[in-house]
Amino acid sequence: MRILALDTETGGLDPNRHAIVSLGLAIMEDAEVIASREFRLGMDSKAEYDVKALEINGISWKSIKEGPDPKQVYVEAARWLDEHDAREMDIVSHNTAFDAAFISQWAFKCGYWDRGSSCFIPAPELVRGPWWCTRRMASRLKLENYKLDTVCSLYKLARTGEHHGALEDAVLCGKVFAALREKVAA
């Protein structure tokens, strides 16, 4: 099954107050990466940034201040998805409600929100496929918690750096999704 694995790193936990600082997209078939890209976003002048969130994702304040305009990045991400015919693929993220809320706010702030859509999923212009949530899928397992790192450890997967990176987390999520689907099929 070909999927679009997605992860966001943000400047905080509230999509109404904070903004995306990094978006990771990985087109995967089973657990293999076909194409991937990380998009860094510059400052959203209407957003707040929480230092604790930036410590978790390791993105510096300087890179946010000097980064590209969020609207420009939105257009660039849409172009990348079009180049890879990925807008209507099944979308996999670990914390779908979180990622979807931030992408929705990003689309809205950039003027790309389709207010006629009755779906809760974000930005019909950016991605249109059905969403899969690996956190929810993993909740059927008996684990101490359902954080991505915990679920990854079950499948002997781990991030390579000390920070949460959007692209690396998207790829890990795609691999977890493949493992969970295989477990269900067995």
Q: What is the 3-state secondary structure (H, E, C) of the chain?
A: CEEEEEEEEECCCCCCCCCEEEEEEEEEECCEEEEEEEEECCCCCCCCCCHHHHHHHCCCHHHHHHCCCHHHHHHHHHHHHHHCCCCCCEEEECCHHHHHHHHHHHHHHHCCCCCCCCCCCCCCCCCCCCEEEHHHHHCCCCCCCCCHHHHHHHCCCCCCCCCCCHHHHHHHHHHHHHHHHHHHHC
Please tell me the predicted confidence (pLDDT) of residue 107. Answer: 87
pLDDT tens by residue, 8-59 = 999 999 999 999 999 999 999 999 999 999 999 999 989 999 999 999 889 9
Structure tokens at 55: 């410590």
Read off the pTM: 0.90
Q: How many CB atoms within 10 Å of residue 55?
A: 10
To the nearest whole number, what is the mean pLDDT of the chain?
89
Q: What is the pLDDT of residue 161?
A: 79
pLDDT at 111: 80
Cα 60 to Cα 43, 69, 101, distances in angstroms = 11, 16, 23
pLDDT band, very low/low/confident/very high, at 112 (cuts 50, 70, 90): confident
